[in-house]
């Protein structure tokens, strides 16, 4: 089974900071021999500076506009594994684009994680603009706000707690196979397994 030309990414990963989106994207890309794209990296490349600096210099609304554009571009022209920034799903245009992608047979995977497992991955002492102040409380508040949106856009939810990236990649692959998302962009062939 092959992916239809122009159908979009094989799979899109969404979830909060610390869920492993970028790392799992690379593990899936390696498993499936596909290119990997991360919209946070696209935003940084477009802006010519790190996300933290975009927030400080230009503000969150500017960052969100760049992020929305990066997601739209990636959904249109990337055919590998795509990882979205944690807050990308908050914009209505992005949710609509993900719904259209899913309607074409695409799969959106919500990589879920608990605070206990996200904390060591995120390193709450690092500079993350949305986690300033009390990072653990901010992460928890962000997750409470975002969880319903992640669940709304997702085809599949995979809990990453205590799993290595390679194990999460297998869980994603198995979940997609179980859902029989085999006719669209998320199709996994036997050769890729």
So what's the pLDDT on residue 2?
32
Coil, strand or helix at 162: coil
- Facing residues of 88 across strands? none
So what's the pLDDT on residue 179?
85
So what's the pLDDT on residue 127?
45
So what's the pLDDT on residue 43?
94
Q: In what order do the strands lie in the sheet with 81-83?
A: 36-38, 81-83, 11-14, 108-112, 156-159
Q: CA-CA distances (angstroms) from residue 29 to 11, 13, 24, 100?
A: 10, 12, 8, 23
So what's the pLDDT on residue 144?
84
- Number of Cβ within 10 Å of residue 108's Cβ equals 24
Long-range contacts of 189-192 (CB under 8 A, 24+ apart): 189/1, 189/2, 192/31, 192/32, 192/33
11-178 architecture in CATH? 3-Layer(aba) Sandwich (3.40)
| All structural domains of the chain with their residue ranges | 11-178
So what's the pLDDT on residue 162?
87
So what's the pLDDT on residue 138?
72
Three-class DSSP labels, 87-155: CHHHCHHHHHHHHHHHHCCCCEEEEECCHHHHHHHHCCCCCCHHHCCCHHHHHHHHHHHHHHHHHHHCC
Burial profile 122-149: b = 16 or more Cβ within 10 angstroms, e = fewer: bebeeebebbeeebeeebeebbeebeeb
Each residue's pLDDT tens digit in the chain (193 positions)? 234 445 799 999 999 887 889 999 999 999 999 999 999 999 999 999 998 888 889 988 999 999 999 999 999 999 999 999 988 999 999 999 999 999 999 999 999 987 766 665 555 444 444 445 556 677 677 788 889 999 999 999 999 988 999 999 999 999 999 887 444 444 444 444 4
Asked if residue 155 lies in contact with residue 110, where contact means CB atoms within 8 angstroms, the answer is: no
Coil, strand or helix at 7: coil
């Amino acid at each position: 089974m092959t992916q239809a030309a122009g159908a979009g990414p094989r799979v899109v990963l969404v979830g909060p900071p610390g869920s492993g989106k970028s790392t799992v994207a690379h593990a899936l890309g390696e498993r499936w021999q596909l290119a990997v794209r991360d919209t946070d990296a696209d935003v940084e490349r477009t802006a010519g500076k790190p996300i933290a600096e975009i927030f400080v210099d230009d503000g969150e609304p500017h960052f969100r506009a760049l992020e929305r554009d990066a997601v739209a571009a990636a959904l249109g022209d990337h055919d590998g594994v795509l990882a979205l920034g944690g807050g990308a799903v908050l914009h209505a245009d992005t949710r609509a684009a993900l719904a259209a992608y899913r309607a074409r047979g695409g799969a959106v995977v919500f990589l879920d994680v608990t605070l206990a497992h996200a904390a060591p991955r995120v390193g709450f002492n690092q500079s993350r603009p949305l986690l300033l102040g009390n990072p653990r409380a901010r992460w928890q508040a962000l997750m409470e706000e975002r969880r319903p949106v992640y669940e709304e856009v997702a085809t599949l939810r995979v809990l990453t707690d205590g799993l290595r990236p390679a194990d999460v990649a297998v869980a994603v692959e198995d979940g997609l196979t179980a859902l029989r998302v085999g006719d669209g962009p998320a199709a996994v062939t036997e050769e890729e397994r």
